[in-house]
Amino acid sequence: MNPQTVQSAGKVELDKKMKAITKRFKGRWNAPLAGYLFIAPWLLGFLILQLWPIIQSFYLSFTEYSLLEPARWIGLKNYQDISQDRLFFNSLKVTFLYVIASVPLKLLAALAVALLLNRNIRGISFYRTIIYLPSLIGGSLAVAVLWRNIFGLNGFINHLAIWVGIAPKNWIGTPSTALATLVLLTAWQFGSSMIIFLAGLKQIPGELYEAASVDGASPLRKFIRITLPMLSPVILFNLIMGIINAFQMFTSAFVVTNGGPVNSTEMFALFLYNKAFGSLQMGYASALAWILLVIIGIATALNFVASKYWVFYETETEGRK
């Protein structure tokens, strides 16, 4: 080896070291900075409009705060009061009933319609659009007002009821039927879950069905043995999103029934709103919000744990092979 090559080798070594150092600094500071700048619009929005209020509400949950006067620290009193509040337990009961009834119904409706729309007939995209349309406007106030009129005293349902021989009544004004009308309204807004199901159905390889047909499997068997397992990750996703949304349901309970009659539709979020803006108990309402967060967190965690027993991921089988 001649000395020149040794020298140049040393230089290359040094260059490499320098580059590594600058790269490390650049890597640590410059590249992320650009990244942070790119997400800054979202990040600022999140920090100012979401994280900060979340921290504030945590603090407020230990205070008595009426909006009109400054917040006063009262420790755990809000949480103690909540644990003895009859209306709190009522709203929990109503909300759980609503979640248990509305989420499966909505998923069933979404899956059924997705199956119907998952075929190649002429004008299918037109049908898809038409059926998805209500869901675009479904969460809006206008639809809630419409619902109030449909199920109201002079509403469309009562005109039907007379034909079928059921005595007309104010469906949203009767404690035993009010919640059911809200569940129906939710189930009717199946559109976005349906779109996700539809995308999931398209992902299932056609060969599986062909192979099953060759073996003489009935359509029902194909559905149970192929469609459901292959679709299960999508079902899990829709289930979790559905449950999270259902726990926070507010608009239709507020507009259609406003929690009545006799609190039969006073959902958790509505109860929270009434405490905050009706009774001006912001501290109490903040404590309620944190309780709701914990409940949703537990429900979601349970779902993930349970999912191990029924959700099927394609990658799993590949791994086993």
Q: Count the residues of the shown chain that bind other proteins, applying the rule CB under 8 A.
A: 25
Query: What tokens were used for 193?
Result: 């879950």
Among 261, 293, 300, 303, binds other proteins (CB under 8 A): 261
Contact status: 4 vs other proteins (CB under 8 A): no
Residue 153 lies near other proteins (rule: CB under 8 A) = yes
Cα atoms in the 13 Å half-sphere on the side-chain side of 237 = 15
Return contacts of 33-38, CB within 8 angstroms, 24+ apart. none
User: Whole-number minimum distance, CB 169 to other proteins, in Å?
Assistant: 5
Check: CB of residue 177 under 8 Å from CB of residue 257.
no
The answer to whether 85 and 266 have CB atoms below 8 angstroms apart is no
Nearest distance in Å: CB 17, other proteins:
26
From 172, 175, 151, 182, select the one nearest 246 (Cα to Cα): 182
Q: Which is nearer to other proteins, 81 or 226 (CB)?
A: 81
263 part of the interface to other proteins, by CB under 8 A = yes
67 binds other proteins, rule: CB under 8 A = yes
Options 68, 214, 220, 294; binder of other proteins; rule CB under 8 A? 68
Instruction: Work out whether 152 is an interface residue with other proteins (CB under 8 A).
Output: yes
Q: Do residues 187 and 102 lie in contact, with contact meaning Cβ atoms separated by under 8 Å?
A: yes
* Minimum gap (Å) between residue 187 Cβ and other proteins: 23
Contacts of 99 (CB under 8 A, 6+ apart): 243, 246, 247
Sequence-ordered list of residues with C-beta below 8 angstroms from that of 289, at least 6 positions apart, any chain: 57, 61, 272
- 44 interacts with other proteins by CB under 8 A: no
- Least Å from the CB of residue 261 to other proteins: 5
Closest approach, Cβ 143 to other proteins, in A, equals 17
Give the one residue of 40, 262, 301, 302 binding other proteins; rule: CB under 8 A. Answer: 262
Binding of other proteins by 318 (CB under 8 A):
no
Interface with other proteins, residue 53, by CB under 8 A: no
Q: Which residues, 173 to 212, sit near other proteins by CB under 8 A?
A: 173-175
What residues contact residue 60 under an 8 Å CB cut-off, 6+ apart? 71, 282, 283, 286
The answer to whether 274 contacts other proteins (rule: CB under 8 A) is yes
Is 303 a residue that touches other proteins (CB under 8 A)?
no
Tokens of 14: 């040094």
Q: Check the CA dihedral 281-286-290-293 and report its sign.
A: positive
At its nearest, how many Å lie between other proteins and the CB of residue 150?
13
Which residue is it, tokens 């407020």?
60
Binding site for other proteins (CB under 8 A): 67-69, 87, 149, 152-154, 169-170, 172-175, 260-263, 274, 277-282
